[in-house]
Amino acid sequence: MAEYRIERVGRLIREKIGVLIVEGKIKDYRVNPFLSITRVSVSRDLAWADVYVSSFKSEGNLAKGVEGLQSAAGFIQSQLAGQMHIRQTPKLRFHEDSSIKEGFDMVKKIEELSGNEGP
């Protein structure tokens, strides 16, 4: 039962941070709407949440975006506390996740190998 709750809290954090990014409520210039929250890993005691961020743009933009999100972590945590109905809001740690960029690169390589033959 506890693991289900931890997963549910992680999904909710992922959703709420995504909305904050898309709506432009995070005013740090390094955070752009092309950032995507890929997953959130919450500790068993709900003290920490590791948030993995990805983007299909360059890795330099991703690194800057993660720095911007980490800089705004206090603001994001306060927004989460107001929207989530849990006793303790986890402290946020942001990490780079290059999975989306790697996926785009792989699709591009497959298209190059197939000779761009389309319908």
Q: Please check the confidence at residue 60 and state whether its pLDDT lies above 60.
A: yes
> What are 72-96's pLDDT values in tens digits?
999 999 999 999 888 889 999 999 9
**Alpha carbon distance, N-terminus to C-terminus of the chain:** 49
For residue 117, the model assigns a pLDDT of: 54
Token reading at 3: 């693991």
- The DSSP H or E segment spanning 57 is none
pTM, to two decimals: 0.81
3-state SS assignment for residue 107: helix
- If pLDDT is split at 50, 70 and 90, which confidence band does 2 have? confident
> What are 44-59's pLDDT values in tens digits?
999 999 999 988 777 7
For residue 40, the model assigns a pLDDT of: 95
Looking at residue 25, its amino acid is: K
CA distance 67 to 65: 5
| CATH H superfamily, domain 2-114 | K homology (KH) domain (3.30.300.20)
Domain spans of the chain?
2-114
